[in-house]
Amino acid sequence: PADSDLPVIVFENARISWPADTEYVDNESDRFILRDVNISFPVNKLTIICGKTGSGKSLLLNSMLGEAELISGKIRVPERPFDCYDQHANKDNWIVPHSVAFVAQIPWIENCTVRENVLFG
């Protein structure tokens, strides 16, 4: 298959948990861990992650951002190209190929302009 057909985000036998404070958590049985995660997200397709409260949806998404602890396995996500796309961006062409967007469930905004908030996050 061509490179453009390969999945951009892949989890391979991943074990993921929220970062633990070892002062309060003695062993793995005291932690919520997603185990044996094997999933690949199709290119140029909308993927929806749904499940019950506490099932690990936010943990899965945050692990893509590197904000969760990868205990074992692999997570492959796209890297931003070294060349900057900003110079080519305009109102008709603003989508960066192989980019990932994430909208957190808890909204936040800094006390500044909309532009500054978008650039910040």
CB 47 within 8 A of CB 39: no
CB contact set of 49 (below 8 Å; sequence gap of 6+): 57, 60, 61
Distance CA 114, CA 62 (A): 24
Q: How far is CA 43 from CA 12, 28, 38, in A?
A: 17, 34, 16
pLDDT digits (tens, 9 = 90+) for 7-58: 678 999 999 999 876 566 666 677 889 999 999 988 778 888 899 998 999 8
pTM of the model: 0.64
Rounded mean pLDDT, 79-100: 61
CB 8 within 8 A of CB 79: no
